[in-house]
A and B are shown apart, each in its own frame.
Chain A
């Protein structure tokens, strides 16, 4: 008998909310105007874009004029980092990031390194946290930018962003944080948080793919990557993705309601229920921080078996998960994040990430716990390694 599939890969992407789709549809049909046109068609589109900007801004406690739409999270990361490095290169060419960043950040820094910038990569502790003391030691008079992610996508760990940002602010160093896993899932108030640049992505919060935003604090000047018609106040030229932006705005409104209702707290309880089930199986290790972690994120390493095999067996049982094992990345090494925690390769190959969504039920979690236990047992029976071997 076919059972209802359980999607537990919301860190990768979330389904588009039906309400969001409804909000977008008119802008794919009759309201097709270019927001830069001054006629009625254009004005309707402009109004929709600005309303969406307001919705995204109020979700994160920003001013409308501090939100700049981009073609997604990776583009926003690129814009923040390259845009700052280039705009401030007269002041200095030293940049700081962490070892566990997403490739949309890490690869930008390695490219900048090849262009002659000096990049310091901070290590993390075994829970994946950057130490403010390490950052303090790494900051130099010629440092212009620090970029440290708000929460890690693979291990869910939240960084002490307020402390890190404050250290930068005291030294007139810009602080960027990739918050694509956080925005819409935890309350954020950029009015008080010492962050200058913050990356957001619509499809991580039940909005459409291909649209994101960069928060740029008022008074912060960065260079654009895309030059042209001067849209987004010159920071991102190109005719706006109106329907996508409208969808992002609608998703932001819904997220704000969920946060106001405290749904992230209920989600964290469900996550703990899931983690408890995973960790009661022998030789399963938590990855990331136990409490300072995304409310929807559970990640572990299962010793003696390999993550892709686990993933495919879960998939066959109707459960969608993800892994940072080498076999899922097409390389010989497991993910840089897991290795940065100090895990040995063999253990890191057994990584599993389950990320819950707003519609995940307790029953879904119970079924997942049971399937996990059974599949781990089957795969361990096939493995040459294990407790009794």
Chain B
């Protein structure tokens, strides 16, 4: 059902937890649907210097959170926003069709965190 990569990132997730203080926090999803992703970022010189996530959801949701945080870490905000759900899917070796929405959630999560950061920067 899941690729080896998904299982690996689910069983040994990277960047779990929260950042306190965080420069930006993005929360996406809905507990009603069984998926909530919360992304915390610290930004230095326009780069994602550190990143953490907390996810309520299935194995795919946890694996995509884990993968996307790895992928955007160290990137400029512009580069981070260019990471798409397709990139996450490729990196994970694909997801079952009914789980594709998890990868979209991951993309939205990064976007929400960056937006939150930018909102905090512009008074």
Residues in A lying within 8 Å of B, measured CB to CB: 304-306, 308-309, 312-313, 316, 325-327, 330, 332, 334, 344-346, 349, 381-385, 389
Q: Which of A313, A325, A332, A381 contacts B16 (CB 8 A)?
A: A381
Residues of B28-62 whose CB lies within 8 A of A: 31-38, 53-62
CA distance A381 to B32 in the complex (A): 20
B90 within 8 Å of A by Cβ?
Answer: no
The contact sample of 8 A-B pairs, CB cut-off 8 A, is A304-B56, A306-B58, A309-B57, A309-B59, A326-B34, A383-B55, A383-B56, A384-B37
Asked if B71 is an interface residue, CB under 8 A from chain A, the answer is no
Question: Are A384's CB and B54's CB within 8 A?
Answer: yes
Residues of B within 8 A of A316 (CB): 7, 11
A310 CB → nearest B CB, Å: 9
Q: Specify the main secondary structure of chain B where it touches its partner.
A: mixed
Query: How many residues of chain B have a CB within 8 Å of chain A?
Result: 28
Q: How far is the CB of B53 from chain A (nearest CB, A)?
A: 8
Contact present for B34 and A384 (CB under 8 Å)? no
A325-B31 in contact given A381-B16, A382-B13 (Cβ < 8 Å): no
Task: Say yes or no: A326 contacts B33, CB within 8 Å.
Answer: yes
B10 interface residue (CB < 8 Å to A): yes
Chain A's closest residue to B31 (CB) is A346
Q: Does B27 contact A (CB under 8 A)?
A: yes
Do A308 and B33 contact each other (CB < 8 Å), given the known contacts A382-B16, A384-B38?
Answer: no
Q: Are B62 and A382 in contact (CB under 8 A)?
A: yes
- Report chain B residues within 8 Å CB of A325: 34, 58
Within the complex, which residue of B11, B13, B32, B55 is in contact with A346, where a contact is CB–CB below 8 Å?
B32
Q: Apart from A325-B34, A382-B55, what 4 extra A-B contacts exist at CB < 8 Å?
A: A309-B10, A309-B59, A327-B99, A346-B56
**B98 CB–A CB distance under 8 Å:** yes
What's the Cα separation between A334 and B100 when bound, in Å? 18
Q: Which residues of B contact A (CB under 8 A)?
A: 2, 7, 10-11, 13, 16-17, 27, 31-38, 53-62, 98-99
Q: Kindly list chain A residues whose C-beta atoms are within 8 Å of the C-beta of B11.
A: 313, 316
Give chain A's interface secondary structure class. Answer: loop
**Residues of A close to B13: CB separation below 8 A:** 382
Given contacts A316-B11, A384-B27, A384-B38, contact A308 B58 (CB under 8 A): yes
Is the beta-carbon distance between A312 and B34 smaller than 8 angstroms? no
Which residues of chain A are near B37, meaning CB under 8 Å?
384
Question: What is the chain A residue whose CB lies nearest that of B27?
Answer: A384
Most chain B CB inside 10 Å of its own CB: which residue of A330, A332, A381, A389: A332
Tell me which residues across on chain A come within 8 A of B32, comparing CB atoms. 344-346
In the complex, A155→B57 CA distance in Å? 22
Interface-central residue, A306, A332, A383, by most chain B CB under 10 Å: A306
A383 and chain B: residue at smallest CB distance: B56
Cross-chain contact A349 with B27 (CB below 8 angstroms): no
Given contacts A383-B55, A384-B38, A384-B54, contact A332 B33 (CB under 8 A): yes
- Would you list the 4 A-B pairs with minimal beta carbon distance, nearest first? A327-B58, A346-B31, A384-B54, A308-B58
Q: Tell me if B16 and A345 are in contact (CB < 8 A).
A: no
- Which of A309, A332, A346, A381 has the most CB atoms of chain B within a 10 A radius of its CB? A309
Expressed in whole angstroms, the minimum distance between the Cβ of B36 and any Cβ of chain A is 6
Chain B's closest residue to A323 (CB) is: B58
Structural contact, B33 and A309, CB atoms closer than 8 A: no
**Residues of B with C-beta under 8 A to A313:** 11
A306 in contact with B34 given A312-B10, A381-B16 (CB within 8 Å): yes
Among B56, B58, B60, point to the contact of A384 (Cβ < 8 A).
B56
Is A330 a contact of B34 with CB atoms below 8 Å? no
Is the CB–CB distance between B34 and A327 below 8 Å? yes
